[in-house]
Structure 1
Amino acid sequence: MRKIVLLFVLFAFVLGGCSEYQKLLKSTDNSLKYKKAIEYYNSENYAKSATLFEELLPIYRGTSKAETISYYISYCSYGQGDFISAGYFFRNFLKTFPDSPYSEECLYMSAYCYYMESPKPRLDQTPTQNAIDAFQLYINRYPNSTRIPACNEYIDELQDKLVYKSYLSARNYYDREKFPSAIIALQNSLKDYPGSSHREDLMFMLLESKHQLAAKSIPSKQRERYNNAKEEYYAFVDEYPESKHMKRAEKMLEDMEAYLSKFNINN
């Protein structure tokens, strides 16, 4: 019986709260709506807070309150985990109120929302690049900010993701034995990210791709391509003389030299 009474009281409380909120939505007392919107926000009821603030924004547009309302709307989306909308609102805030005391914070939050949108490496990395650009913009504008160390850490993390994405894309062609495409993708990855932690593997895959392309080419193109693969071998060995791939690389060199020896050339 006691449980039933407690449930009834709880139900009445929730119903009363909903009724109060519905009355508030219909109210023409904008000062009360503003006050309640902040109360909802402070109690982390971001959905109700956002609804009230969005109703108030056109009413207060052009006044000093519009800036505060826009600021709260941005954080309401952020509080609900809607980083796409939050990022949009933070960027819109910066356009609308470029001289606001909240500008530095909103620029940082805009970058952070892009960071939160950044997907797994195998997916499109546009939000990742957007986040890097936004964090860099923040660093350039506010070089003395206490947030700079965090920005640099986020940029390093995001760069690592781009590096890995590039590696995966190149490896995909290599694994599927699409050697002409693999060569282009591998060369681009090495050029775009010369300090990649995957550099050794990328260079080896490039060597093997060139070797395989030569082996599978028509006779009229084999000589040139074997020479090209041999040059890649020396570039690889010069950079990684103790590579874990050395045995396979040396076996490829033997094959290249066996073919090229037919032409009595020594390079």
Structure 2
Amino acid sequence: MRLLSSSRPANTAARDRARRARVAGILALRLVGLVVVGASLSGCAGMFDTDKEEKIYPDVPAEQRYNEGLTLMEKQDYAEAMRRFEDVDRQHPYSELARKSILMIAYINYSLGNYDECIAASRRYLALHPGSADAAYAQFLMASSYYDQIPDISRDQTRTQRAIDALEDVVRKYPDSEYAVSAKKKLEIARDQIAGKEMMVGRYYLEQRNYAGAINRFKVVVTRYQTTRHVEEALYRLTEAYMALGVISEAQTSAAVLGYNFPESSWYKDAYKLVQSRGVDPKLNEKSWIAKAFKGIGLG
């Protein structure tokens, strides 16, 4: 019993020493961890040190930047000029010069043939400053960008139609502006282009003996583009198509409208001969869509 009782304190002391060693090891590891974290935090503190001097670049005055842009434009350095105007727009967005800078950006892009960029800048200008004195010019720049992209008559005329819509906005919204006269001239050419496209397709249908398809194309010219140079031929082609279908009354009407409005036209002479080949003369049917299309223009 004594041996057993005398050996217990020795085992307890050994266990205490082992436990103290483990605790000391754990504390040592924690201390190392704290040192590492402390070093990391001290490095981060350097990144966010508010006492550290920060280099700040002050904004250049809007007037200085804008005038630099104008000077560069005079030197025809359009790329650098545009950067100056972009700086004004970005750094001084609510200033009067920012408004003018957007317009200058649109103009430079138009001059460089960057039509989509010009359209975007012009549209932004109109959205921000619809009532300004230069709104008419912004609208004209946008319309001209579409106009200058009018494709060959054999291709899709979507951009031509967009040009027409934008040019009509210039004439309708700003009739007294200096741009309205130029817009009207461009509008005539753009409409003539659309009419020419319709005539080309209509002639193709006529050659294929697709008379209904041909009539629909010529009808577009007669109803929408009466002031273009294609309307005379369109009326003759209608006479031709209706004669081929045996719809003599409509053929007589188209020939009569053609003769009434363009009596000296070679197209009328051909139309007259064509209806007479069936033993009839040009004769107006006032109920015909053709006669109604010309109400207030040459008939009625």
Is the TM-score greater than 0.5? yes
1:31 aligned residue: 60
1:180 aligned residue: 212
Distance 1:98 1:160 in 2: 30
Distance 1:38 1:70 in 2: 13
Give how far 1:80 is off: 0.8
Q: Judge conservation of contact 1:60–1:66 (CA < 8 Å) in 2.
A: yes
TM superposition score normalised by structure 2: 0.59
Q: Which letter maps to 2:251?
A: Y
- The structure carrying a bigger helix percent of its residues is 1
Segments of structure 2 that go 5 or more residues without pairing to the other structure are 1-55, 260-267, 280-300
Say if 1:28 and 1:170 are closer, same or farther in 2 by CA, change over 3 A: farther
Give how far 1:76 is off: 1.8
2:256 aligned residue: 238
TM superposition score normalised by structure 1: 0.65
Give how far 1:196 is off: 4.5
Q: Judge conservation of contact 1:112–1:131 (CA < 8 Å) in 2.
A: yes
Of the two, which has the highest radius of gyration?
A: 2
Say if 1:175 and 1:96 are closer, same or farther in 2 by CA, change over 3 A: same
Counterparts in 2 of 1:208-247, with a 5 A limit?
A: 208-212=240-244, 214=245, 226=246, 228=247, 230-240=248-258, 243-247=269-273
Query: Is 1:92 equivalent to 2:124 in the alignment?
Result: yes
Say if 1:239 and 1:36 are closer, same or farther in 2 by CA, change over 3 A: closer
Distance 2:276 2:129 in 1: 63
**How many pairs does the alignment contain?**
213
Distance 1:79 1:29 in 2: 32
Say if 1:142 and 1:239 are closer, same or farther in 2 by CA, change over 3 A: closer
Distance 1:204 1:140 in 2: 33
Q: Judge conservation of contact 1:207–1:232 (CA < 8 Å) in 2.
A: yes
Q: Which letter maps to 1:66?
A: A
Distance 1:88 1:115 in 2: 15
Paired residue secondary structure (2:176)? coil
Counterparts in 2 of 1:160-175, with a 5 A limit?
A: 160-175=192-207
Give how far 1:55 is off: 4.9
Say if 1:148 and 1:102 are closer, same or farther in 2 by CA, change over 3 A: closer
Distance 1:28 1:181 in 2: 67
C-alpha distance after superposition, 1:123-169 (max 9, x if no partner):
33333333333333333333333333323222222222222222222
Give how far 1:180 is off: 2.8
Q: Which letter maps to 2:253?
A: A
Segments of structure 1 that go 5 or more residues without pairing to the other structure are 1-26, 215-225, 255-267
